[in-house]
């Protein structure tokens, strides 16, 4: 057995997993700490200074996007850039893994894990932490910029015309559309065409922030405002001063904070937690959501006056299935991008593969297409991407022809996920199945 070395912190809300991994890793690390919640993660890092953090991706029932893990990854690397973070998830997703690695994660381990592989990964992370590799100490918070692709559809041409009219103004904009349609990419294009483009747009994913941290993320705090507030910290409104603030999934903002946000927008000033005086801010707000906010207002879940304030201009992005003429050109752009990334330049799409792409329903829109093409590029050993490389498991016959039970089940689950805004607990309840059964079916159908 190799000599014990290093300090490991395991963060997972499943206490059985905490116990099992702690028992496994104690033979390899000098000290193994555990946390059942990330809420005290930063203070634990400050006090214990672990070399490696094994961080779960999801901490709330029904939320399985991995956004929580990405949020805490950014927080760790922003404050302790030398710490190596290995992400822990039950969902093997190439897109999420690549995104996490781009944002600074050392590696990615999938549950159920292989003991030997987990130990090797954690030991490699420790070696990297002690190897003093020459890396930037500043957190990498953004992925390479993706250019806006307008396409040839009539609906997207109308969107382009509207953007050209409103981008140069300071009007607040609400972008709506299904998940994966490219709302953030459009927001960046609006910012690029605006007078504020000389400063970086500040993005905030409201779906990735734990409820207890919303106020701190938006408005910041002063030293001593709460237990872990050891220094002053500006919120996203102050960070975006003079620029554009993009708030994705704005519908997730808790009702009790909507009044405070409305006051910030009206008064153009923000008060940090623990502060007595407001700080002036000059921002242009772009919001995005896949929810029907008018329906949320009717249910008492969203303030009508705030909706009026953020919705000066409304831009709706159509789903990919409504712009079929853009599917293959988009796919070819992704093939070029990932061909360069994975050293496979010159890949081409076969005619049969192009036809299969056009006939797919794309419930996940451009994000699903991008993920599909990245996997196809990885799996392709020759020069031509064939239908088999696409791994599209759904039969895409016209709706007026009969469907198999599996096809109907996949479509029903996809529709329920869309209706519930990705809340898998609600989806399971609506379909009358357990969450575990739902997870298994999502994995089976590639949703």
Predicted local confidence at residue 62, as pLDDT = 46
CA 40 from centroid of its chain's CA atoms: 22
Q: Which two tokens stand for residue 42?
A: 């930063």
Burial code (b: 16+ CB inside 10 Å, e: under 16) for 67-89 equals bbbbbbbbbbbeebeebbbbbbb
Burial class (CB in 10 A: 0-12, 13-18, 19+), 265: middle
Q: What is the mean pLDDT of residues 114-133?
A: 82
Which stretch, 131-135, 139-143, 363-367, has highest mean pLDDT? 363-367
Of all residues in the chain, the percent with pLDDT exceeding 70 is: 85
Cβ atoms within 10 Å of 284's Cβ, excluding its own = 22
Per-residue confidence (pLDDT) for residue 97, from 0 to 100: 61
Alpha-carbon torsion 194, 290, 325, 157, what sign?
Answer: negative
Model-wide pTM > 0.85: no
Query: From start to end of 68-197, where are the E strands?
Result: 84-89, 107-110, 173-176
Nearest to 87 by CA among 62, 115, 48, 113: 113
Take residue 237 and report the two structure tokens written for it: 């409104």
Q: For residue 387, what are the CA distances in angstroms to 146, 358, 373, 377?
A: 26, 12, 11, 12
pLDDT above 60: residue 400 = no
Q: At a CB cut-off of 8 Å and minimum separation 6, what does 24 contact?
A: 115, 118, 119
pLDDT at 240: 92
Strands across the sheet with 52-56, in order?
31-35, 7-11, 52-56, 84-89, 107-110
111, 90 in Cβ contact below 8 A?
yes
Confidence of residue 138 (pLDDT cuts 50, 70, 90): very low
Top pLDDT among 405 and 343 is at 343
Most trustworthy range by pLDDT among 99-108, 126-135, 255-264: 255-264
d(CA 100, CA 95): 9
Q: What is the pLDDT of residues 76-92, one digit of tens each?
A: 998 898 899 998 876 54
CA-to-CA dists, residue 303 to 213, 251, 254, 260, 289, angstroms? 20, 10, 10, 11, 15
Least confident of 100-104, 185-189, 313-317, 398-402: 398-402
Of 408, 406, 409, 428, the C-alpha closest to 419 is 428
What's the length of the chain? 447
Taking the CA atoms of 358, 159, 249 and 247 in sequence, report the sign of the dihedral they define: positive
What is the rounded (10 degree) CA torsion for 111, 73, 42, 239?
-160
* 309 three-class SS: helix
Q: Are 261 and 306 in contact (CB under 8 A)?
A: yes
| pLDDT score, position 210 | 74
The tens digit of pLDDT for each residue in 321-365 reads: 999 999 999 999 999 999 988 888 889 999 999 999 999 999 889
């Amino acid at each position: 057995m190799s000599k014990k070395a290093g300090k490991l912190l395991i963060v997972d809300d499943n206490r059985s997993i905490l116990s099992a991994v702690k028992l496994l890793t104690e033979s390899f690390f000098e000290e193994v700490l555990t946390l059942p919640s990330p809420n005290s993660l930063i203070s634990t890092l400050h006090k214990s200074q672990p070399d490696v953090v094994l961080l779960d991706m999801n901490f709330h029932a029904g939320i399985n996007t991995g956004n929580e893990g990405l949020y805490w990854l950014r927080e760790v690397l922003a404050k302790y850039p030398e710490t190596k973070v290995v992400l822990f998830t039950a969902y093997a997703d190439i897109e999420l893994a690549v995104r996490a690695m781009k944002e600074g994660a050392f590696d990615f381990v999938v549950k159920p894990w292989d003991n030997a592989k987990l130990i090797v990964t954690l030991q490699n992370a420790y070696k990297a932490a002690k190897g003093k590799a020459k890396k930037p100490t500043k957190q990498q918070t953004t992925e390479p910029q993706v250019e806006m692709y307008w396409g040839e559809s009539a609906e997207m041409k109308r969107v382009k015309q509207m953007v050209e009219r409103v981008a140069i103004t300071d009007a607040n904009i609400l972008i709506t559309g299904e998940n994966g349609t490219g709302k953030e990419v459009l927001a960046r294009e609006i910012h690029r065409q605006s007078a504020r483009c000389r400063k970086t747009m500040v993005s905030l994913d409201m779906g990735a922030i734990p409820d207890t941290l919303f106020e701190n993320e938006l408005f910041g705090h002063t030293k001593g405002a709460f237990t872990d507030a050891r220094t002053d910290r500006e919120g996203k409104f102050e960070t975006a001063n003079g620029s554009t603030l993009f708030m994705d999934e704005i519908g997730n903002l808790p009702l009790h904070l909507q009044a405070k946000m409305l006051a910030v927008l009206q008064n153009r000033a923000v008060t940090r937690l623990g502060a007595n005086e407001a700080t002036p801010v000059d921002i242009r707000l772009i919001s995005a959501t896949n929810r029907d906010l008018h329906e949320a207002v009717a249910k008492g879940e969203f303030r009508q006056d705030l909706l009026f304030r953020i919705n000066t201009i409304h831009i709706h992005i159509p789903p990919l299935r409504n712009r079929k003429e853009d599917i293959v050109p988009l796919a070819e752009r992704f093939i070029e991008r990932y061909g360069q990334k994975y050293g496979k330049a010159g890949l081409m799409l076969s005619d049969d593969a192009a036809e299969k792409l056009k006939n797919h329903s794309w419930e996940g829109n451009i994000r699903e297409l991008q993920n599909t093409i990245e996997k196809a590029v990885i799996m392709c050993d020759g020069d031509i991407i064939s239908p088999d490389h696409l791994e599209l498991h759904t039969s895409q016959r016209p709706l007026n022809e009969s469907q198999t039970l599996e096809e109907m089940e996949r479509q029903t689950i996809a529709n329920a996920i869309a209706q519930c805004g990705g809340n898998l607990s609600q989806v399971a309840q609506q379909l009358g199945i357990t969450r575990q059964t739902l997870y298994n079916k999502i994995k089976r159908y590639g949703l």
